[in-house]
């Protein structure tokens, strides 16, 4: 049985106080095991990063960027292998895995701009013969804790920018699908990154708590569920660390009466069911304005869902694959059961899907639930599966109130032909990422990603310009070189 281990100081290791099974979600069978790192292994990774930091910090940004250029080329060259690893352990269909990887590569491209991004600001003669400037200096050792649903992309949100800013990194990927992250880290070493600058430890809460408590770790980035995000943020900040912790979501799409319904249905079919709905930006609630809009939307959505193909990643004709584990499959089905028990209408039922040849896989079919209300548990919580719920309201204002009242504020969108309505929506909706006729408004790499309310803990968003600020400290220097022979008197007033 293959054991997926760690990468510490450039060396593969399999230190483990125990192992955990890795499943192929399409078959339900154990495919590998992952080494669960003991505290000593995590501390070794931190020590390696700490030892590598002085030389790496002193490396010019242009040289750091050149390594990122080579890294990008290696990611593209080895894309098929990376997508295969994602499919085997996560279950994503190849086209979906390729899309994830491409968005990660775009963040590497942005990191290649390090010499420009790290330029400070300079002001000459702020006073007599006095100049002032700012610099962005690295923090030291920083860490990332990443989720199962994007095993390649989310780590690439974090460490490329952290590293080009002069930091050294310890990554703790999801133990459910760790192979892609480990393989990609080895490509970074192949690109020329010195040993110790990038380290990977696989583990569970023991590893996480070690990263959160070790005084050498200066900052922590996290993506996952809101309860864990709250814990990560509270623990990290209590230990004096900078922290950004991205949590859960319940993303709504408003369907206005004037919307191009065919385009809206096509967009929501992909946004709700792509990647089996295991996306923090998945569109999981359609809010139809008016009963006529609701009826037309349900009719067309059922038609769009009929030909959807669900199955293993080995068949590229499939639209999406299984969910990550048996437990998660049961959780998603439980939410559908709950909605039905609360009085909602199951228009398309994916609870009993069986895929020929993969009867033991963790599959849930595309599910459409109508007549949902805000009081239902299935509405309040994040389902994280291929489930689209439909709510009917009488006005755009009521739709916006519904969204603004929800505890999550990650992503949302509106489908309309009315520019005035779209502008009002963007100005007044309490959500961090907003789409206008765009169902998945995930920012490109040179903007930043993050929600509001219980979808984000911390002041700075992920990747893009905010990442430069998160992974550096601003230092401002003011200097003066008095003219030779000039002796200045004592000044007690505050300088101005």
Taking the alpha carbons of 342, 344, 345, 350 in that order, is the dihedral positive or negative? negative
Phi-psi category of 289—alpha, beta or left, where left has phi over 0 and alpha has psi -120 to 50? beta
pTM listed for this prediction: 0.96
How confident is the model over 234-275, as pLDDT tens digits? 999 999 999 999 999 999 999 999 999 999 999 999 999 999
Distance set, CA 480 to CA 120, 126, 493 (Å)? 19, 10, 18
Give me the DSSP letters along 114-164. HHHHT---EEEEEETTEEEEEEEEE-SEEEEE--SS-TTHHHHHHHHHHHH
- Sequence spans of domains, the chain: 3-247+455-477, 251-436
The segments of the chain whose pLDDT lies below 50 read: none
Which superfamily is assigned to 3-247+455-477 in CATH?
Answer: Aldehyde Dehydrogenase; Chain A, domain 1 (3.40.605.10)
Whether 392 is catalytic: no
- pLDDT at 455 (0 to 100): 98
Length of the chain: 496
User: In angstroms, rounded to a whole number, what is the distance separating the alpha carbons of residues 310 and 318?
Assistant: 5
Contact in structure between 11 and 186 (CB atoms under 8 Å): no
What ranges in 274-312 are assigned the alpha helix state H? 291-305
Give me the DSSP letters along 409-433. ESEEEEE-S-HHHHHHHHHH---SE
Q: For 394, which DSSP code? A: S
Nearest Cα to 363, choosing from 425, 310, 303? 310
Radius of gyration of the chain (CA): 25
User: In angstroms, rounded to a whole number, what is the distance separating the alpha carbons of residues 456 and 442?
Assistant: 15
Report the DSSP beta bridge partners of residue 8: 11
Contact in structure between 283 and 388 (CB atoms under 8 Å): yes
Which of 3.40.50.1970, 3.40.47.10, 3.40.309.10, 3.40.50.300 would CATH assign to domain 251-436? Answer: 3.40.309.10
* Residue found under tokens 């037309």: 296
Beta strands 452-453; 217-223: pairing state: unpaired
Q: Which of 112, 168, 243, 280 is catalytic?
A: 280
User: In angstroms, rounded to a whole number, what is the distance separating the alpha carbons of residues 44 and 463?
Assistant: 27
- pLDDT at 184 (0 to 100): 98
- pLDDT at 484 (0 to 100): 74
């Amino acid at each position: 049985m293959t054991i997926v281990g760690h990468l510490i100081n450039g060396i593969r290791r399999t230190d483990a106080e125990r192992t955990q099974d890795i499943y192929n979600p399409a078959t339900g069978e154990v495919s590998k095991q992952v080494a669960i790192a003991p505290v000593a292994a995590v501390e070794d990774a931190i020590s390696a990063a700490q030892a590598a930091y002085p030389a790496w910090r002193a490396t010019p940004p242009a040289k750091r960027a050149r390594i990122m250029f080579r890294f990008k080329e290696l990611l593209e060259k080895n894309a098929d292998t990376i997508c295969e690893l994602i499919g085997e352990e996560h279950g994503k269909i190849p086209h979906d895995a390729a899309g994830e990887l491409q968005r990660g590569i775009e963040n590497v491209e942005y990191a290649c701009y390090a010499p420009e991004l790290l330029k400070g600001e300079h002001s000459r003669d702020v006073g007599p013969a006095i100049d002032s400037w700012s610099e962005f200096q690295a923090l030291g050792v920083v860490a990332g804790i990443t989720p199962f649903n994007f095993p390649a992309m989310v780590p690439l949100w974090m460490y490329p920018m952290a590293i080009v800013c002069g930091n050294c990194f310890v990554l703790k990927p999801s133990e459910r699908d760790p192979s892609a992250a480990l393989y990609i880290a080895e490509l970074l070493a192949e690109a020329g990154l010195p040993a110790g600058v990038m380290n990977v430890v696989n583990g569970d809460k023991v590893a996480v708590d070690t990263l959160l408590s070790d005084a050498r770790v200066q900052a922590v980035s996290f993506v996952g569920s809101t309860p864990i995000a709250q814990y990560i943020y509270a623990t990290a900040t209590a230990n004096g660390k900078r922290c950004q912790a991205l949590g859960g979501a319940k993303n709504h799409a408003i369907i206005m009466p004037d919307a191009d319904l065919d385009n809206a249905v096509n967009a929501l079919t992909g946004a709700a069911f792509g990647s089996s709905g295991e996306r923090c930006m998945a569109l999981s609630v359609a809010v139809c304005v008016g009963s006529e809009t609701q009826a037309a939307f349900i009719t067309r959505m059922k038609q769009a869902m009929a030909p959807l193909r669900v199955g293993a990643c080995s068949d590229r004709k499939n639209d999406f694959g299984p969910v990550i584990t048996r437990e998660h499959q049961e959780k998603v089905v439980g939410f559908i059961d709950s909605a039905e028990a609360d009085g909602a209408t199951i228009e398309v039922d994916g609870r009993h899907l069986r895929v020929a040849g993969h009867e033991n896989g963790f599959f849930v079919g595309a599910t459409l639930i109508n007549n949902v209300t805000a009081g239902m548990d299935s509405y309040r919580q994040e389902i994280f599966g291929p489930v689209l719920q439909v709510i009917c309201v009488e006005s755009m204002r009521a739709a916006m109130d519904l969204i603004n009242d929800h505890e999550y504020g990650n992503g949302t969108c509106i489908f309309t032909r009315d520019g005035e309505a779209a502008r009002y929506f963007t100005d007044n909706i309490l959500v961090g990422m907003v789409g206008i006729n765009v169902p998945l408004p995930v920012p490109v790499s040179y903007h930043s990603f993050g929600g509001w309310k219980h979808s984000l803990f911390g002041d700075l968003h992920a990747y893009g310009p905010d990442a430069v600020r998160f992974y550096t400290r601003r230092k401002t220097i003011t200097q003066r070189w008095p003219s030779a022979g000039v002796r200045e008197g004592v000044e007690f007033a505050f300088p101005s």
